[in-house]
Amino acid sequence: MTALKNDRFLRALLRQPVDVTPVWMMRQAGRYLPEYRETRSQAGDFMGLCTNPDLACEVTLQPLERYPLDAAILFSDILTIPDAMGLGLYFEAGEGPKFRKPVRTEKEITALEVVKPHEDLAYVVDAVSTIRRELNGRVPLIGFSGSPWTLATYMVEGGSSRDFARCKTLMYEQPELMHQLLDVLAESVIVYLNAQIAAGAQAVQIFDTWGGSLSHSAYQEFSLAYMRKIVSGLLKENEGRPVPVILFTKGGGQWLEAIAGAGCDAIGLDWTTDIGTARQRVGGQVALQGNMDPAVLRASPARIRQEVASILESYGAGSGHIFNLGHGITPDINPEYAGAFVDAVHELSEKYHKNSN
């Protein structure tokens, strides 16, 4: 494999010295970019884009042509695993993802089998290897998956939900059945992410988008326990280099110590947690990723720069910070404002790394 020309993202994940704070954006390949919309129209629809390795590679690289980002993230969707389990994923305009065959009964859940990535999700594995080849060492490639709890919410509800009524009822009424569902999902995530790593992903992120909807005890039992299991089952090294793991629970700021104890290398923060406080709590154990409110990108470049400066100041000097948004960039953002954000991170962070090299 080609040597990395820019490895500051991987170095920061391992809390090693860097020259500036690395930056990437969740959903950096997406609808805010006109070139993405054009490629998506060629593909026909979103899943057509995800399942075509060449087009998935094209949109993965598009933001890197515009901005000096420090990482690329595989273009895919968190719901590829339940789709591969035969649930029939489709997207309804204005309503988000839906499943034709949700799982709610014991018979439906016990029938689920661990996915076979090279058979059921070969298009993702092929996309990873294609992207790595086309990146040619420019920046590292991030692979990802949804967390078992987050995947389960979509699978049981049949799509997006505001209150997770069906999923939480199953969890409280039939906890052993929910554990059975989460276990097959955890095993699937392990083999799926390991296939991505073997194909060339140099770091992986687990998106626990709906973990924050759980009570304190339920989060530990039904979300974090399974992410811990996944981390312990992942390949720790590939191509002679560590493969760092990022755990991101949206709304998980109250559980930072527990997440840091799950074996990950970095914790993703949403915008509701002060990054300086988070560093005081867990910065000796893990790197931190985040955490500007994506809505700030609707403000002027001057205001964006001000917010970047504030977050950098809160984190303070030294490595271990990967700058990101607190969740994904939204479709209404002006691409020039996203560029102002990336430039501000690099320009304003240099002084925090003067003595770390």
Tell me if 327 is assigned to a ligand binding site.
Answer: yes
Instruction: Identify which of 308, 242, 227 has the alpha carbon closest to the alpha carbon of residue 15.
Output: 242
State how far the Cα of 210 lies from the Cα of 149, in Å rounded to an integer. 7
> Which residues, 6 or more positions from 241, have their beta carbon under 8 angstroms from its beta carbon?
10, 202
Among residues 31, 66, 281, 298, the one annotated as catalytic is 31
- 36 as an active site residue: the answer is no
Tell me if 31 is assigned to a ligand binding site.
Answer: yes
Tell me if 317 is assigned to a ligand binding site.
Answer: no
Among residues 32, 36, 154, 192, the one annotated as catalytic is 154
Among residues 77, 83, 120, 208, the one annotated as catalytic is 77
Among residues 15, 27, 132, 279, the one annotated as catalytic is 27
Tell me if 154 is assigned to a ligand binding site.
Answer: yes
Among residues 8, 15, 40, 305, the one annotated as catalytic is 40
- 40 as an active site residue: the answer is yes
- 27 as an active site residue: the answer is yes
Tell me if 330 is assigned to a ligand binding site.
Answer: no
Q: Where are the beta strands (DSSP E) in the chain?
A: 72-73, 89-92, 96-99, 141-146, 203-208, 237-238, 241-242, 245-249, 266-268, 287-289, 321-322
Tell me if 30 is assigned to a ligand binding site.
Answer: yes
- 31 as an active site residue: the answer is yes
Tokens describing residue 27? 């959903």
State how far the Cα of 130 lies from the Cα of 124, in Å rounded to an integer. 10
Going from the C-alpha of 320 to that of each of 64, 290, 311, the distances in angstroms are: 23, 11, 14
The residue assigned the tokens 């990482």 is: 71
State how far the Cα of 181 lies from the Cα of 179, in Å rounded to an integer. 5
Tell me if 321 is assigned to a ligand binding site.
Answer: no
Tell me if 315 is assigned to a ligand binding site.
Answer: no
CA 162 to chain centre: 21
Q: Where are the beta strands (DSSP E) in 168-265?
A: 203-208, 237-238, 241-242, 245-249
- 343 as an active site residue: the answer is no
Tell me if 192 is assigned to a ligand binding site.
Answer: no
Q: Where are the beta strands (DSSP E) in 47-100?
A: 72-73, 89-92, 96-99
The annotated binding site for substrate is made up of 27-31, 77, 154, 209, 327
Binding residues: 27-31, 77, 154, 209, 327
What amino acid positions are annotated as catalytic residues?
27, 31, 40, 77, 154
